Amino acid sequence: MNRQQKIAWFNLVVMVAGAVLAMVMAAIGVIKFAVVILLGIGCLVGISPVLFWRKRGKINFDERDELIYARGTLMASVITCSYFAVMCIMAFIFFRSKGSVPVYELIALVVGAFFCFVTSKSLITLLAYRMGVKDGKK
């Protein structure tokens, strides 16, 4: 398993664990700690490249890895933009009669986009390595 796969697995586990923890906190009714959980998730995802640092003298990123990284980032961006567009349309539909969108909805929109991007990028990266994608062909 190379560095990029380790980072993808780590980010995926952090996202799933964070989502489960946030749902449990919401079910219990302790919403105040949800912000702390979200900040912790963001920090863990942000430091994941540092946790899986490159080893000196060893090639860690070749052309195939670069291609998978670029495609994963592009596809995750498309998925996240689609999520963002759908959520904006839903906010327009649901809050049109009120005349304004509540602040918590905007925060949820940004946090959801972050979750969507990191989770989809991790899944796409792992699937690309699993399928053995090379230069667009199997």
Question: pLDDT per residue over 59-97, tens digit each?
Answer: 666 788 888 889 999 999 999 999 999 998 998 888 888
Domain residue limits, the chain? 3-131
**Residue that the structure tokens 């946030």 belong to:** 22
For the ranges 2-11, 17-26, 69-78, 109-118, the lowest mean pLDDT is seen at 17-26
Decide which of 104 and 83 is more confident. Answer: 83
Q: What 3-state class would DSSP assign to 137?
A: strand
Pair 60, 2: CB distance under 8 Å: yes
Contacting residues for 120 by C-beta, under 8 A, at least 6 apart: 75, 76, 79, 80
The pLDDT score that the predictor gives to residue 55 is: 67
> What is the three-class DSSP state of 2?
coil
Query: How confident is residue 56, by pLDDT bands cut at 50, 70 and 90?
Result: low
Query: Can you tell me the distance from the alpha carbon of 48 to that of 105, in angstroms, rounded to the nearest whole number?
Result: 28
33-42 pLDDT, tens per residue? 666 777 777 7
Give yes or no for residue 43 having a pLDDT over 90: no
